[in-house]
Amino acid sequence: MKHYIRDYMTMLKVERNLARNSLDSYERDLTQYHDFLSTNLKLKSVLNVTLGHIRSYLRHLNDKGLAGNSVKRAVSSIRTYHNYLSAEGIMQDNPAQLLDTPKVTKKLPSFLTIQEVDTILSVIPEKAPMARRDLAIFEMMYSCGLRVTELCNFKTSDILWDSEMIRVSGKGDKQRFVPIGPIARDNLKNYLNHERPTYADKNPNVAEVFLSRNGRKLTRMMIWLLLKKWTEAAGIDKEVSPHTLRHSFATHLLEGGADLRSVQEMLGHSDIATTQIYTHLDKAHLKEVHKTFHPRFD
């Protein structure tokens, strides 16, 4: 019965023009869903699925200890899949129509302090192998608030030197323009002029800016491992991922007085509600604001 998934994935790719990562997530969710229906519930066809079957699958995910956001994403995938089957006349009734979306408590994103970011960036030795590349990567991620995939896909043609901006291809291939600060610009130029040509000679057809020693485009995992390496070298005992730098970018801008709408634009959020989670401020900052501006604090 998995041929329905293939048809659905074709529709998502052609009609909705979803990004590769989104398509992979849909396909993975629906393949696991179908496997449960056929293996655990012994269903021969997805056309026999009822709301009870779907709820059994969601209980199965919860019993496995799946994170709330992962269950929520699975519900979304299943609902849109059954909406498609119903709209195409493949299923007469839509069993997911009354499916509730689980409530997920929003966690405040983890972020680094300004001092911790400075420590990580300063610990990368100037003369270490590929140090120019690593410094350019993390200066740019912090300066521009990039997602790791956006960094990996960043091309030389996306650098707009004259306007001191970069062009970013975000989720769903939506493009946005983000300023790049002078320190990040200088490190990027340093890498492009002195290190990248050596790696690019080994694989001259690669257009992406950041390359491995063999001239290949860097992967998300490689970026994660590089950041882990330099975070440990800096002696910072925190769980830090590339997305932590993006969280830090947004947090530090808002704490510095940036307006929410501008931060939303730079992050590439389609809904400002997504950006509002970054309006958390640490207690020390709140106390300082209160002390500075409250008229009865003399």
- Catalytic site positions: 147, 171, 243, 246, 269, 278
Axis-axis angle for helices 114-123, 242-255 (nearest 10): 130
Tokens of 100: 């509730």
131, 67, 154: which is closest to 105 by C-alpha?
A: 67
Report angle CA 267, 213, 171 to the nearest 5 degrees. Answer: 20
243, 206, 216: which is closest to 228 by C-alpha?
A: 243
Helix and strand element counts for the chain (H, E): 14, 3
Amino acid (one-letter) located at 14 = V
Distance in angstroms (rounded) separating the CA atoms of residues 138 and 50 = 49
What 3-state class would DSSP assign to 169?
A: strand
Residues 6+ apart with CB under 8 A from 274: 264, 267
Amino acid (one-letter) located at 23 = L
Distance in angstroms (rounded) separating the CA atoms of residues 27 and 4 = 11
Residues in the chain: 298
Distance in angstroms (rounded) separating the CA atoms of residues 192 and 188 = 6
Distance in angstroms (rounded) separating the CA atoms of residues 280 and 298 = 26
Tokens of 209: 């800016």
